[in-house]
């Protein structure tokens, strides 16, 4: 290659690196789900800078060596560019953001070894785990180019790679199921792939011996008469199918250890989306049939006593009757007789598939023992207290996030992720038969998912807050004076508010520090994690008369942002931002409240603008209209007290029938939905789609 073409190749490599670094800079300003995403992005960016240095210093090498090095660098850059897609599809507004942190904790609480995962969405349907260990991949890439980019740049890159830590994997879930968080139990199955291959590797020699012994018993024309190479391919093919099938089943069981019955119901529903049987076809592709997978997951729950406890509890609580019936339905589909008639019969005339199935069954007890050595079983034990699960289901029934267990004489206790997910699954199963129309069930299920997602976020931040400097969520007040008269006209006082909260007539959750938040005549609320920013250049003018075209235009007019705790959101002078309260409210039908700004923020120019009345019976997070009237930008940190609620009794009860019920974040105005008389005041012909 001549010098001119080589120079063009170097320029091309530098340009590719520049494009990737520009994208990295843009993604650095996005809000990421976890440190895993930020660390992965930093490693890609640092690698590009190191490659720039390699390209510049390669000019001192012989011409042939320069060409080889630059082409190698271009290959790495192409791979880095493709890997950016994982980060881009995993930023907070593209995933169920509050699910990630608690899920990582659930893995840590189940798997006995360190695991780091990056969870991203994709449009292709299905869940998958990239088996590439990206820590090892990046370390090996650096090793091949070691010394070319300079010691300083290499040390900086190594520092970023070390942050990935060993066993760094990427797990993908279908974007179509983004908000269907009950389905995401199946992510636990993908995590199982990170260690179940160790069992198949451990048993490789034994399984190969079993396969050869079984093949010796088949008619000579099918195996013994073949040459050595062909016999070897047959043995390898059967071993490959066995190892894949064994790993899939063990991954299902690992998922059950994390999520309990919720994992079984997720697998069952996923199977009904695809095909419940097809044993021969499945085994030929290296997968167990869905019916067999379900039978193993159900058997594990049965052996651990989970099924029998739920069946017994169904006699005491009618909400568990449908759950018990669902177990019975799965048991009928997966019992031994059904497996024999629909599974073994289908493969009996196909010898390789029969061998695979027989070896799977033979080694399944050893596979279970391997799992028991590698997982902790606290999650299944925590599900044994069905009274707590029932309490969470009752909260969903009352349209309240199931984010804590209420106790009479001690502070509320945040539930674990698997307790919330199982309560939500049980509630879904319980309401399926009650709703007569798909429309009603769909609306109810949509609200349930929103409340479940909010509960996961709340329980996680509540646990972190309680562990911070030993804070305890208790009131610590004197008993109410029995002679004190109930206040039916003015603002409710501290003791009256606490009485309403303790009786669950008034719900404000999570109330992280009640002693500080409940004042003499108000309750402080904290800033939530979601914001809506208006795009000033999106519309030349906003015309409320065109409200029928309005829903489709909202996406272009607003920009939603979600940020994590300990991050900040900047509100600029003379701009309005819609935020929301961290707390979720459920007001009695005879109590309303006003949202009032805090003077400490007001003195900086931050004001809670207009529309601050909350009607009786309202349920949801409160949308806050935040305006910066000051001269300098203000950083807002989710979790800080941002406003206060002043409560009043109403003279009679009323039911909330507004458009913003069960909100879990800021809500954009829904003009025209509940104001049909507005059309009278518009010019004729406007407001038409």
Catalytic residues: 625
Burial class (CB in 10 A: 0-12, 13-18, 19+), 531: buried
DSSP classification of residue 406 = -
Q: Which of helix, strand or coil describes residue 592?
A: strand
Whether residue 403 has a cis bond before it, omega within 30° of 0: no
Cβ atoms 617, 660 nearer than 8 A: no
Cβ atoms 612, 596 nearer than 8 A: yes
State how far the Cα of 317 lies from the Cα of 663, in Å rounded to an integer: 29
Cα torsion at 625, 630, 635, 638 (round to 10°)?
A: -30
Cβ atoms 299, 361 nearer than 8 A: no
State how far the Cα of 161 lies from the Cα of 154, in Å rounded to an integer: 10
State how far the Cα of 625 lies from the Cα of 579, in Å rounded to an integer: 6
* CA–CA–CA angle 82, 83, 89 (5° rounding): 100
DSSP state letters, 344-391: IHHHTT-HHHHHHHHHHHHHHHHHHHHHHHHB--HHHHHTT-HHHHHH
Residue with tokens 């940020």: 563
CB count within 10 Å of CB 683 equals 7
Side-chain half-sphere exposure of 104, counting CA atoms within 13 A: 20
CA 251 to chain centre: 19
State how far the Cα of 68 lies from the Cα of 29, in Å rounded to an integer: 36
Q: What are phi and psi of 509, to 5 degrees?
A: -140, 140
State how far the Cα of 643 lies from the Cα of 501, in Å rounded to an integer: 19
Q: Which of helix, strand or coil describes residue 530?
A: strand
H or E, element range at 551: helix 550-557
CB count within 10 Å of CB 192 equals 27
- In 3D space, the residue among 460, 452, 587, 564 whose CA is nearest the CA of residue 512 turns out to be 460
State how far the Cα of 303 lies from the Cα of 286, in Å rounded to an integer: 27
CB count within 10 Å of CB 509 equals 24
State how far the Cα of 133 lies from the Cα of 164, in Å rounded to an integer: 10
State how far the Cα of 561 lies from the Cα of 555, in Å rounded to an integer: 13
Look at the chain and count its residues.
Answer: 689
- What would the 3-class secondary structure string for 107-169 be? HHCCECCCCEEEEEEECCCCCEEECCCHHHHHHHHHHHCCCCCCHHHHHHHHHHHHHHCCCEE
């Amino acid at each position: 290659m001549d010098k001119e073409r080589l120079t063009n190749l170097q320029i091309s490599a530098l340009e590719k690196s520049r494009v990737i670094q520009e994208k990295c800079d843009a993604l650095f300003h996005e809000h990421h789900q976890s440190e895993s995403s930020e660390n992965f992005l930093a490693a890609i960016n640092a690698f590009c800078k190191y490659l720039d240095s390699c390209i510049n210093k390669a000019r001192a090498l012989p011409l042939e060596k320069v060409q080889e090095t630059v082409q190698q660098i271009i290959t790495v850059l192409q791979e880095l560019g493709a890997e950016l897609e994982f980060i881009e599809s995993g930023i907070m507004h593209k995933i169920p953001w509050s699910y990630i942190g608690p899920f990582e904790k659930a893995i840590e609480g189940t798997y006995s070894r360190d695991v780091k995962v990056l969870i991203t969405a994709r449009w292709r349907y299905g869940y998958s785990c990239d088996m590439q260990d990206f820590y090892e991949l990046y370390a090996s890439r650096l090793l091949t180019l070691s010394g070319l980019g300079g010691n300083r740049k290499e040390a900086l890159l190594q520092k970023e790679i070390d942050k990935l830590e060993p066993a760094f994997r990427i797990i993908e879930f279908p974007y179509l199921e983004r908000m269907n968080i009950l389905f995401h139990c199946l992510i636990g199955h993908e995590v199982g792939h990170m260690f179940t291959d160790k069992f198949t590797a451990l048993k490789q020699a034994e399984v190969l011996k079993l396969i050869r012994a079984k093949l010796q018993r088949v008619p000579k024309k099918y195996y013994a008469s073949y040459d050595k190479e062909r016999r070897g391919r047959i043995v390898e093919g059967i071993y490959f199918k066995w190892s894949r099938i064994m790993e899939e089943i063990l991954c299902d069981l690992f998922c059950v250890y994390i999520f309990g019955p919720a994992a079984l119901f997720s697998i069952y529903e996923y199977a009904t989306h695809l095909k419940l049987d097809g044993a021969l076809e499945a085994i030929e592709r290296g997968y167990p049939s869905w019916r067999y997978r379900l039978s193993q997951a159900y058997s594990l729950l049965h052996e651990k006593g989970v099924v029998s406890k739920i069946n017994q509890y169904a006699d005491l609580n009618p909400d568990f009757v449908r759950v018990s019936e669902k177990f019975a339905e799965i048991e009928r589909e997966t019992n031994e007789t059904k497996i024999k008639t629909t599974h073994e019969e289908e493969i009996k005339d196909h010898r390789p598939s029969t061998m695979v199935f027989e070896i799977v069954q033979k080694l399944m007890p050893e596979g279970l023992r391997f799992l028991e050595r590698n997982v902790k079983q606290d999650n299944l034990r925590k599900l044994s207290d069905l009274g707590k699960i029932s309490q969470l289901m009752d909260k969903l029934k009352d349209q309240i996030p199931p984010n804590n267990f209420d106790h009479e004489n001690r502070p509320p206790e945040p539930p674990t992720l698997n307790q919330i997910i199982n309560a939500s699954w049980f509630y879904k199963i319980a309401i399926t038969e009650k709703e007569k129309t798909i429309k009603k069930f769909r609306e109810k299920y949509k609200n349930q998912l929103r409340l479940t997602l909010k509960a996961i976020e709340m329980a996680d931040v509540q646990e972190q807050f309680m562990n911070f400097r030993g804070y305890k969520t208790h009131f610590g007040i004197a008993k109410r004076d029995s002679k004190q008269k109930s206040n039916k006209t003015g603002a409710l006082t501290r003791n009256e508010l606490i009485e309403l909260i303790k009786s669950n007539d008034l719900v404000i959750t999570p109330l992280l520090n009640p002693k500080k938040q409940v004042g003499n005549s108000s309750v402080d609320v904290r800033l939530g994690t979601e914001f809506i920013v208006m795009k000033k250049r999106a519309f030349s003018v906003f015309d409320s008369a065109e409200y029928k075209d309005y829903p489709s235009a909202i996406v272009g007019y607003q920009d939603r942002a979600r940020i994590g705790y300990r991050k900040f959101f900047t509100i600029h002078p003379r701009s309005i931002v819609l935020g929301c309260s961290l707390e979720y409210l459920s007001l009695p039908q005879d109590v309303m409240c006003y949202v009032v700004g805090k003077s400490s923020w007001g003195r900086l120019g931050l004001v809670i603008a207009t529309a601050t009345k909350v009607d009786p019976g309202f349920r949801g997070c409160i949308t806050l209209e935040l305006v910066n009237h000051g001269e300098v930008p203000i950083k807002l940190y989710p979790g800080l007290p941002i406003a206060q609620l002043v409560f009043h009794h109403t003279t009679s009860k009323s039911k909330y029938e507004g458009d913003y019920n069960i909100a879990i974040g800021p809500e954009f105005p829904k003009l025209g939905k509940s104001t049909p008389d507005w059309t009278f005041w518009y010019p004729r012909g406007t407001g038409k789609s």
